[in-house]
Chain A
Amino acid sequence: MANTVIGSTIVIDGEITGDEDLVVHGTVKGRVSLRENIIVEESGVVEANVETATITIHGTVTGDIAASERAELKGNCHVVGDIRAPRILIADGASFKGNVDMEG
């Protein structure tokens, strides 16, 4: 499993770019730009502008999200920022503040 995992005690302050799945249990600040999937787990905190194919959020995201395929906000997640994606799913229990753009 060629996965990238950011563990719960890890803090990355800067820029993450790449071509593979990213699972965030820890903290990422700055900018994230991937062509694959991002999963922000419950303990995960992302304070960054995110650019990706799909994003699944169980944790906290502060920043604008641009997903080329899908953005999924699970229950108990906290999202502040604008979301731009063709498909956006917001589950019951999710907290979200920001604009939604599903035009593409």
Chain B
Amino acid sequence: MGAASAPKDGLTIIGADIVVKGRVEGDEDLRIEGRVEGTIVLSQTLYVESGGIVVAQVQARDIVVSGIVVGNVQAENCITLHAGARLVGDLAAPRVVIEDGAAFKGSVAMGESAAGSAKNANVAKRPSRAPARTTTESRTVAKSPRGASKPKSESETRPKAKAEPVARPRVAPIRVAARDDDEVTVVVRHAEIATRSGKTAKKAAKKKAKNTPPRARMPKPGKRRISRR
């Protein structure tokens, strides 16, 4: 057995009956036929074979998926989802290929900005371009609005999502007065008026009740008219 396994660079296989939990990183191709949970950072190609299950944040140069991936996926070059692939998460790569028969749920960020952010993944800066059309997608996925600038850990993702104009209403629904959102400010003013005028009105009503009898009177039950003296 020892002789058969001569060092063969550029090929790492995680076999079908292996479970890896934690962080996997390296500078060569990685082929996953088993299960990996945690984080994968690779400077070469990641293959998730059919039967392979990856529950992880994935970062690699190329990613070829024929199996199952749950988590955000970021590639410097290309993400390919073959037929039979199932992926839940956000994709960020200059090129994304989804073949017929692949199942995918999540958002896609393509193009040069995605490439740039994929390279500068450690710098937690968003690219200035923030297309509004991704917002609906990102809400349905309930993840960080764009996988593009996804950092490695989730703890980094959250504060960034807060700073995001798109996500802000979700975080602080009423305090958004900084953004001139007419509806919200109106609501706030109404609330103020209601509380202030409510007090004064009550006081006035009390005074009136003391000084003057009620003007309009209703007929007593059983009578059609108000009896006048």
Contact = CB atoms under 8 A, between A and B. Distances in A.
Interface of A: 2-23, 25-26, 30, 37, 39, 41-43, 56, 58, 74
B25 A20 contact: no
A25 B13 CA distance: 11
Contacts of B24: 10-14
Contacts of A22: 15, 18
24 contacts: A2-B15, A4-B15, A4-B34, A5-B11, A6-B12, A7-B28, A9-B27, A10-B30, A11-B25, A11-B26, A12-B23, A14-B23, A14-B38, A16-B18, A16-B19, A16-B20, A16-B21, A18-B17, A22-B15, A25-B8, A39-B2, A41-B5, A56-B2, A74-B2
A5 B34 CA distance: 12
Contacts of B28: 7-10
B165 interface: no
B18 A23 contact: no
Contacts of B180: none
Residue among A6, A21, A41 having the largest count of chain B Cβ atoms under 10 Å = A6
A3 B15 contact: yes
B13 A5 contact: yes
B18 A20 contact: yes
A42 B30 CA distance: 20
Contacts of B13: 3-5
Given A9-B28, A16-B18, A17-B18, 18 more contacts: A2-B15, A5-B8, A6-B12, A7-B12, A7-B30, A8-B7, A9-B9, A15-B21, A16-B21, A17-B19, A18-B15, A19-B17, A21-B1, A25-B9, A39-B1, A39-B5, A56-B2, A58-B2
A16 B13 CA distance: 13
Nearest to A19: B17
A78 B10 CA distance: 25
Given A5-B5, A20-B16, A26 B34 contact: no
A13 to B, nearest CB: 4
Interface of B: 1-2, 5, 7-30, 34, 38
Nearest to A9: B27
Contact of A26 (B5, B12, B23): B12
B171 to A, nearest CB: 32
Contacts of A25: 7-9
Nearest to B14: A4
Nearest to A72: B2
B12 A18 contact: no
Contacts of A7: 8-12, 26, 28-30
Nearest to A17: B19
Contacts of B12: 5-7, 10, 26
A20 B17 contact: yes
A25 B8 CA distance: 9
A25 B143 CA distance: 36
A40 to B, nearest CB: 10
Contacts of B1: 21, 37, 39, 56
A33 to B, nearest CB: 9
